[in-house]
Amino acid sequence: MTLTLEWMEWTVPTAIFCSTIILMVIAMTIWQTISPSLERRGFLPIPTTPGDRLFIGILGSAYLFFAWIGLTHFALWILLVVVVCWIIVVMVWG
């Protein structure tokens, strides 16, 4: 019996997506290191910091992507607009 490994194929959109998330996390880390912020309450039911809201926004975006792909046949660029708006709403008012 032989062991074979399947590797993920990195396409340009995949690389851009992963790089964007990594850069957002790095930027948030630098921002919060230089200027720490206090927790606040928005429409989310818990007090959150900007880092918490970024995490919630990214996690929510992943769920939106899964639901979009599984439940609709619409183009993904439409979802990209929805996801960017979702992250902005969570970051500003969350």
pLDDT per position as a tens digit, 3-36: 666 776 778 877 888 898 899 999 999 999 998 8
Q: Hey, which residues does 48 pair with through a beta bridge?
A: 40
Task: Give the tens place of pLDDT for each residue, 43-56.
Answer: 888 999 888 899 99
Angle at 70 between CA 69 and CA 75, to 5 degrees: 30
For 58, the token pair is: 């990214």
Cα distance between residue 51 and residue 57, in whole Å? 10
pLDDT bracket for residue 2 (50, 70, 90): low
| CA distance linking residue 8 with residue 29, whole number of Å | 28
pTM of the entire structure? 0.75
